[in-house]
Chains A and B, each alone.
Chain A
Amino acid sequence: MPALRGFLWLLGFLLLGEILLTLTGLPVSAGVVGMLLLTAWLLLHGGGFDDIAAAAQPLIAVLAMLIMPGVVGVFFLVDELAGQWTAILAALVGGTLLSVLTTLWLMRRLMAKRHGDPRDPGHD
């Protein structure tokens, strides 16, 4: 059962993240801390993670579905937020357009400074 063993690894790192957060009181989520711990652990060990891959790949594939139960809640708020929808939609759509352009522009600028990087096909 590679997937089961892999899932146990993921749960182990999640619990480790939870423990670290409880001890430090940082406002991050246990999942993100667990992810960083897993990355660090994989870097230290360098090979043979077939078990973890067997559990990780299907979970990553359904990532979007896992937030669906929360997402659906907004459709039940339609009346409650009456009169604010223009503001909300303008903020989400306009704000995301601006922030996407900012990120793309900023990354291109910052990466363009690194001349002589043969693995960077982005700058010219």
Chain B
Amino acid sequence: MTELLDHLLATPILAIALTLAANVAGIRLLKALGAPAWCPPILVASLLLTSVLALLSIDYADYRRGAAWLMLLLGPATVALGLPLHQQMPQIRLLWRPLLACLPPAALLAAAYAVAIAWLFGARPETLASLAPKSVTAPIAIGITEQLGGSVSLMMGGLLITGVVAIGFVGLGARLLGIRDERIIGFALGLNGHALGTVRAFEIGPVAGAFASLGMSLTGIVSALLLPLAWRLVGP
């Protein structure tokens, strides 16, 4: 059994198949249960995948090596977000001033709140560095975490939790503040909830999706440029 598994793990096929299967199963399960919109299928799919890896006693490093082939598609998928961005350009142009004014403080605060809370709870510096890019889209966040000296695995887990709770809180906060504007909701989803928030925003509508893509990419750029700088200034 172990030998067969080792043989299958020699190519990335098994890791990719397991990831796809967990994803399909997660979506099916949520649909069957009639789960609410704030619960993204990736949460269930990740738990399913973890259980399968543990059951088959597949080493995470082995799985990760194979699944890296799937993650390669993150590059072209990020480029692809340029299309909805272009389609909604008239809407975005209309609002460029508030968008640009809101972005730097909101993106930096997204990191600062989390780091401050973790610091108050006495988390280690390495943990703080892993939490700082929690609202940044994965390919950029990996670079930031490495620069700050954090753990990429913890950061990615933080991305998942942040994405899930951001989806819930944006819905809740919008209701609380009486905001129905798809543009504001989408922008908040992308800025705080990176790719997961952006996926949710596209479910709301194409306008929300485009504003989420914009929020996600601008947060990524601002964080990549400013977080390492701010980190050196504060120096935890």
- Do A68 and B42 touch (CB < 8 A)? yes
Which label, helix, strand, loop or mixed, suits the secondary structure of the B interface?
helix
Closest Cβ neighbor of B166 among chain A residues: A96
Asked if A110 is an interface residue, CB under 8 A from chain B, the answer is: yes
Asked if A20 is an interface residue, CB under 8 A from chain B, the answer is: no
- Cβ–Cβ < 8 Å partners of B160 in chain A: 67, 71, 74
Provide the bound-state CA to CA distance between A98 and B105, in Å: 13
Provide the bound-state CA to CA distance between A66 and B44, in Å: 15
> Which among B82, B85, B122 has the greatest number of chain A C-beta atoms within 10 A?
B82
Q: Quick one: CB contact mask for A5-48 with B, threshold 8 Å, 1 for yes?
A: 00100110110010000000011111110111111001100000
- Do A91 and B117 touch (CB < 8 A)? yes
Contact of A70 with B153 at beta-carbon distance under 8 Å, contacts A7-B76, A34-B78, A121-B181 already known: yes
Contact of A91 with B124 at beta-carbon distance under 8 Å, contacts A72-B60, A103-B102 already known: no
- Do B143 and A27 touch (CB < 8 A)? yes
- Cβ–Cβ < 8 Å partners of B143 in chain A: 27, 29
Contact of A99 with B135 at beta-carbon distance under 8 Å, contacts A39-B82, A69-B19, A92-B165 already known: yes
Provide the bound-state CA to CA distance between A117 and B154, in Å: 44
Chain B interfacial positions (CB closer than 8 Å to A): 15, 19-20, 22-23, 40-42, 45-47, 49-50, 53, 60, 63-64, 67-68, 70-71, 73-86, 89, 91, 94-95, 97-99, 101-102, 105-106, 109-110, 113-118, 121-124, 127, 131, 134-135, 137-140, 142-144, 147, 151-154, 156-163, 165-166, 169-170, 173-174, 177, 179-181, 183-185, 187-188, 191-193, 195-196, 198-199, 202, 213, 217, 220-221, 224-225, 228
Chain A interfacial positions (CB closer than 8 Å to B): 7, 10-11, 13-14, 17, 26-32, 34-39, 42-43, 49, 52-53, 55-57, 59-60, 62-77, 81, 84, 86-108, 110-111, 113-114, 117, 119-122
